[in-house]
Amino acid sequence: MNDILRTIHERRSTRAFENKPVPYDVTETLLQAALRAPTAGNMMLYTILKIDDPEMKEKLAVSCDNQPFIAKAPLLLVFLADYQRWYDFFLRSGAAELCQARGIELRKPGVGDLMLAVNDTLIAAQTTVIAAEALGLGSCYVGDIMEKYEYHRDLFHLPKYVLPITMLCLGYPREEAAERTPSRRFDQKFIVQHNRYYHLEGLELDMMFKDSRRPKLTEGAANFGQDFYLRKFASEFSVEMTRSVQAMLDSWNA
Ligand SMILES: Cc1cc2nc3c(=O)[nH]c(=O)nc-3n(C[C@H](O)[C@H](O)[C@H](O)COP(=O)(O)O)c2cc1C
């Protein structure tokens, strides 16, 4: 296996970090790699917010579903989908006057533009994850940055066309790389399909989840599916995430 493939196969999320800052030049190398990620139309529809202020980290550890490890990560990177820069540039370039002269309506960023920006943002984030591994850093995504939109918008001073999509916690892993066993994945046959979509049913679903179990189920759950439903899918944080993302969409479209 070559080094890049080994890095991909051996990566796993890191939530325990050494109490050691990420040096400036390492952070720079990491960010320069992130900016090499493929990007739609070469537009770079994202902003990366570097967070190393301890007070800010504490706030994010609370707002992102009370996950204390966030505050202990030496470096946080918040990945924002960003159409603001380009739209401001269109206006500055006289797009409104152009539309008026042509008798057409000025187009605003829509949900398609947002989806493209989200694509760009996540591709940059995952490029960062792999670059971090290559630099001996560990990382963990925090999806909860999509919760509490109004709070995060005010905390980061986000304008209308900038939305928080994901956050990465980064630092030197406390565990030795050799001790970190990669987490389980579903069998490839359930995930990779050929030419047409195949809708799994009944026993096929049982087969897919047959090795999924937890040492202890949530109270009242009779099996892994019920446990996961209660613990994740129908949990308070999932309900809040859906409310918050709806608020983001409403604000974007307003
Ligand atoms: C979009 C996304 C959001 C995630 N959010 C969290 C989170 O809020 N807290 C956390 O501890 N891990 C989070 N993770 C990490 C996943 O739990 C982890 O990737 C998964 O369990 C697989 O483990 P591995 O990364 O070690 O292979 C997130 C991962 C992704 C891709």
3-state secondary structure 15-71: CCECCCCCCHHHHHHHHHHHCCCCCHHHCCCEEEEEECCHHHHHHHHHHCCCCCHHH
pLDDT at 11: 95
User: Quick check: CB of 195 below 6 Å from ligand 1?
Assistant: no
User: Quick check: CB of 141 below 6 Å from ligand 1?
Assistant: yes
Residue type at 173?
A: P
Label residue 220 left, alpha or beta by phi (over 0 means left) and psi (-120 to 50 means alpha). left
- Give dist(CA 51, CA 150) in Å, integer: 19
Distance (Å) from CA 213 to ligand 1 centroid: 18
- Give dist(CA 118, CA 79) in Å, integer: 9
pLDDT in tens, the chain (254 residues): 899 999 999 999 999 999 999 999 999 999 999 999 999 999 999 999 999 899 999 999 999 999 999 999 999 999 999 999 999 999 999 999 999 999 999 999 999 999 999 999 999 999 999 999 999 999 999 999 999 999 999 999 999 999 999 999 999 999 775 677 889 999 999 999 999 999 999 999 999 999 998 899 999 999 999 999 999 999 999 999 999 999 999 999 99
Which helix or strand (DSSP H or E) is residue 80 part of? strand 75-82
Distance (Å) from CA 95 to ligand 1 centroid: 41
Question: Closest Cα to atom 3, ligand 1: which residue?
Answer: 143
User: Quick check: CB of 66 below 6 Å from ligand 1?
Assistant: no
Question: Closest Cα to atom 27, ligand 1: which residue?
Answer: 12
Fold for the domain defined by 3-186: NADH Oxidase (3.40.109)
Label residue 184 left, alpha or beta by phi (over 0 means left) and psi (-120 to 50 means alpha). beta
- Give dist(CA 14, CA 133) in Å, integer: 10
* Residues contacting residue 162 through CB under 8 Å, at least 6 positions apart: 47, 80, 81, 82, 83, 84
User: Quick check: CB of 167 below 6 Å from ligand 1?
Assistant: no
CA distances from 102 to 106, 107, 110 (A): 10, 13, 21
